[in-house]
Structure formats: structure tokens, C-alpha cells
Amino acid sequence: MCQTTCCIVGGGPAGAFLALLLARQGISVMLLEAHKNFARDFRGDTLHPAVLEVLGELGLANRLLQFSHTKAHYVQFHTSTGPILFDDFRHLRTSYPYVMKLPQEQFLEFLASEARRYANFRLVMSARVEQLIEENGSIHGVRYRGPNGVTEVRAMLTVGADGRFSWTRRLAGMTPVRLSPPLDFLWFHLPRYQDDPQAEAVELYFGPGLFLVLLDRGEKWQVGCAIGKGTYQQVRGSGIEALQHSIACCVPWMANRVAYLRDWRQLSLLSIEANRLKRWYRPGLLLIGDAAHAMSPIGSVGINLAIQDAVAAANRLSLPLQQNRLQVGDLAAIQRDREWRTRLVQSWVGLIQRQIVATLNARQPFQLPPIARLALRAPLVRTIPARITALGGWPEHVCRELRREKDM
């Protein structure tokens, strides 16, 4: 058995960021990651302006920007009636008016390396949580299976930050409410050629019954292909050549490389569903990020909101954890702080996702919802979509006390 003040389950962006913030304040924190490393294909690789602002407040943004990366200054929809400039980040009041595209593995390694500077931080890889320790209706830690067998961790606070399929959430008996119609996504890579269009945007392409997301990864394109929920076997039954043809028709300049897809094993199937818990906490337990509110990949806003959850949690919890006086009300306050902003972003993205699902089902050209078209035409509200995507509406900031490292 081991003892810590805060046990965080899940070494993704939310969990790693919260661990770093708490470690900087001298709080004993243990981060449990189920996998043996941070390398996972087709994870979200976008860092929005709100995240970069927070890193800047910690004095870490310039260091992260030294990594090889690409930038997206806006989101562009390519439809049968022509391109639509959607989220334009260039006019936002921020020091980072773009989305930074960096492999998530590098970002998580960066956060972990910063946290390892503090003796009160411990990271355990290949640690699969099997049980929550519950006594008198309160959570007091976890039991996990790791390289050395089963270990019990006692903690004042347990945080579930283990993603949209959260095992912590399931162990706690907490069931989210589905918000928008689900989608299935096929993710794969295609080569990037020197004469390809300049990738200054997140590119979204629409064809009859087809929706593609193109993300520049330097030497290759990461491509997400939305298909109707539960239609994977039907798509696969039509053959890989049919998929190649559909991609080439939707993005003509990629026709010269679709033959690179030769086997279905090159594609990963991901089921997409936006949901939200009615309550993000129980005594001794807090859920953040996708574990509390799974986001659609439309807009790539999941990492943005997850890290802002972590910032809000650190702002609220650092002092109670340091003074050994954590109350349920402290956890409830985090949900109050974050829930309305989460609802705002989920509602906005849900509008677009419902239109995409309707387009896929009807096999008709895509059209923006009327409210979105109005927002893009009216000068006074034109920046609102970009603000919602880039900043989560009203972004979190690291409180002044947490910006300073506690003397060790």
C-alpha cells in the first residue's frame, strides 16, 4: 500500500496537466497511466490558444513552441458550393492566434518531464485501475494492477481523467447522458507531397454522403472519414477501392495517393459520441475531461476543455489539499465553474454534428445550420464561433498563487 494526497487515473492531457499543476504546489500526486507509454495513433494533436495561454502563464509556452509543429490559423469548410471560412483565429485577442498541431505523445512527455522535476510527483505506467476504495460512501483511493502486481493507493482525492471510455466512471457507477447523434470515424494516414496546398487551416471536406477532416502532420496527412453510425461493415463490404474512389472525388488533389490505402488494417475505427455526466463528482472523487463530458472531434475541442478542467480543478483544490480540508463542496464548485462553458461548446459543436449526420444519412451536399450562417455574416458576432472553439467561450486562467512554484 502507498499513500498520496491526490491519485489521478489517466495520463492524457487533463490528467497530466493537473498532476503538473499540483506537483508545482508541493502536493503529493500520483499519476496512473494504463498504457506502457504515451504513443497512441490518432489521438487529438491540437493545442488551442486557451491552452497555450495557460502554458504561457506557467512560463512553459516558449519551451513547448521549440518542438517541431504546424499551425492552423482558421477552420475551412470545402462544400459543393465553394469554401467557407469558419473559425478564424487570427483576429482573437491572444498571444497565440492559432491552433498548434503537435503529436500528443510529445506534449504528454513534455508535461511528464516538467512534473518529474518535483519529488512529490510519481508517474506509474502500465497501471490498470481495477477497483475504487470506498468506505462509508466516500472514495479513498484505488487498487491498480501494475508491473509489480496489485497495489493499493490511499488518497484524499481521486481524479478520473481516463477519457471517453472512462473505467473510473464505470467503477463509480456514474452514467453519462448522450447529447448528439453518434458518428463512426475511420482514421488513417496519407502521404503529404511538396506541392500540396499550404496547410494554414484545419480542412473539412464534404461530398455526397461523405465528410473528411484533413490535419497536416508534416510529412503526412492525418485523415478522418466520417461514416454513418454502424455502417462500417457495409463500407468495408464495398471494398477498399470504393473508399479510395470516394476520397478522390471529395478531395480531387488527393487522387494521386489514395492507392496508398491497400488494406483495412491501415484504418482505425473510432466511435464518436458526445455525452455529459449530470454530476461530475462523488465524495473523494472528481471526473474531468472526456470522463465527465465526452466531446465530438468536430472542432477538435476536447483537449482544450479537458485542460481547462484541470486548471479550474487546480485553482479550486490546491489550498484544500494542502490544508487537508477537502470537502464535497469544493468538488461541486468545479462543476459549477466549468459546466456552463462545457454546455456552450457542446451545444455549438452539436449543431454542426447533427447537420453532418443528416448530410451523411441523406447523401446530400452539406449546408451550415442557419444560426451558423447568420453568425458568419454578422460583423458583430463573426468572432463568436472562433472564440468558442479556440477559447472555450471564456477561458480559464491559472490563479496568481499557482503561477509561482512552491519552494521545495
Instruction: Say which CATH number the domain at 187 has.
Output: 3.30.70
Per-residue pLDDT reduced to its tens digit, 65-107? 999 888 888 888 787 777 777 778 888 888 999 989 888 999 9
Whose CA is closest to 286, among 251, 320, 258?
Answer: 320
Measured torsion, CA atoms of residues 132, 133, 137, 138, in degrees rounded to the nearest 10: -90
Does any domain span residue 406? no
Mean pLDDT, all residues of the chain: 88
12 and 70 both lie in a single domain: yes
Statement to judge: residues 31 and 119 lie in one domain: yes
- Grid look-up 506537483 returns 23
In terms of domains, do 249 and 306 share one?
A: no
The tally of domains found in the chain comes to 2
For residues 372 and 264, state if they share a domain: no
pLDDT of residue 181: 67
Q: Is 404 within the bounds of a domain? A: no
On whether residue 403 sits in a domain, the answer given is: no
Q: Which backbone phi and psi does 272 adopt, to 5 degrees?
A: -110, 125
Distance CA 8, CA 250 (A): 43
Last residue of a domain, one of 272, 291, 306: 272
Which residue has 488518497 as its cell numbers? 155
Closest Cα partner for 122 from 24, 34, 25, 30?
A: 30
> Do 163 and 43 sit in the same domain of this protein?
yes
Side-chain-side CA neighbours of residue 71 (13 Å): 11
Closest to 160 measured CA to CA, from 284, 274, 288: 288
Compute the distance between CA of residue 289 and CA of residue 302 in angstroms, rounded to an integer.
7
Residues 243 and 287 in one domain: no
- List, for the chain, all residue ranges whose pLDDT scores fall below the cut of 70: 41-43, 180-181, 199, 299, 362-382, 406-408
Query: What is the extent of the structural domain holding 41?
Result: 2-179+273-398
Q: Is residue 252 domain-resident?
A: yes
Same domain, 36 and 77: yes
Give the contacts of 371 (CB within 8 A, at least 6 positions apart). Answer: 351
pTM for this model (two decimals): 0.90
User: In 3D, which of 211, 228, 343 has the Cα closest to residue 274?
Assistant: 343
Using a 10 angstrom Cβ sphere, with 0-12 exposed, 13-18 middle and 19 or more buried, the burial of residue 136 is exposed
Domain contains 298? yes
We report the CATH number of the domain holding residue 335 as: 3.50.50.60
373 and 306 belong to one structural domain: yes
Q: Which pLDDT score is estimated for 27?
A: 97
Which of these three, 246, 272, 298, is where a domain ends? 272
Buried/exposed 303-314: b ≥16 CB within 10 Å, e otherwise? bbbbbbbbbbbb
Identify whether residues 248 and 278 lie together within a single domain. Answer: no
Last residue within a domain, chosen from 240, 272, 304: 272
How far from 270 is each of 35, 158, 346, CA to CA, in Å?
Answer: 18, 28, 19
Q: Tell me if 408 is assigned to some domain.
A: no
> Same domain, yes or no, for 149 and 203?
no
pLDDT at 196: 87
Whose cell is 506541392? That residue is 195
Would residue 407 count as lying in a domain? no
What integer pLDDT is reported at residue 327 of this predicted model?
Answer: 96
> Is 332 among the domain residues?
yes
Residues 131 and 238 reside in one and the same domain: no
For residues 90 and 109, membership in a common domain is answered with yes
Quote the pLDDT of residue 197.
79
